[in-house]
Amino acid sequence: MDSRDKKGIAKVVSSFGYAIEGFIYVCKTQRNMQIHVVASFIVLFLGAVLSITADEWTVVLLLIAGMFSLELMNTAVEKVVDLVSPEYHILAKHAKDAAAAAVLVYACFAVLIGGIIFLKYLF
């Protein structure tokens, strides 16, 4: 059955299934996502050990969700660009570079904010 034929809850369940497939695909194939996942587990463990506050947990979880989301979007942009422009094109390069830069900017600020949260517990 095509997903367009599904109605109601079946359509919602299918949508979640596709999203989970996408997340698993990116985790299996993208080295940077694997690094983000490992870093997230370390941060979550550190947060638990150091008993960070509820407000700090909120920030940490938002940073992790944002990082995962940006890495997922970066991979989507890369795959679509590869699909529509299998040969080298400067505009394809710019699109991929911009998507990667978005991840880099977010990651840098996530590390900075993480430092603000965790350093006071460590020193």
Residue from 26, 64, 67, 71 carrying the catalytic annotation: 71
Nearest C-alpha neighbor of 113 from the set 69, 43, 61, 60: 60
Please indicate if the annotation marks 5 as binding a ligand.
no
Please indicate if the annotation marks 25 as binding a ligand.
no
Please indicate if the annotation marks 78 as binding a ligand.
yes
Name the one residue in this structure whose structure tokens are 């700090």.
56
Q: What is the CATH number of the domain that holds 57?
A: 1.10.287.3610
Catalytic (active site) residue 21: no
Does 1 map to a domain? Answer: no
Q: Domain containing 29: what range?
A: 6-122
Please indicate if the annotation marks 21 as binding a ligand.
no
Does 55 map to a domain? Answer: yes
CA distances from 6 to 3, 10, 21, 37 (A): 5, 6, 18, 33
Long-range CB contacts for residues 19-23, cutoff 8 Å, separation at least 24: 22/72, 23/68, 23/72
Does 56 map to a domain? Answer: yes
Instruction: Give the chain's domain count.
Output: 1
Count of positions (residues) in the chain = 123
Q: Is the pLDDT of residue 6 over 80?
A: no
**CA distance linking residue 31 with residue 29, whole number of Å:** 6
> How far is residue 9 CA from its own chain's centroid?
26
Does 59 map to a domain? Answer: yes
List pLDDT tens digits, range 48-102: 999 999 999 999 999 999 999 999 999 999 999 999 999 999 999 999 999 999 9
pLDDT band at 1 (very low <50, low <70, confident <90, very high): very low
Q: pTM (2 decimals)?
A: 0.89
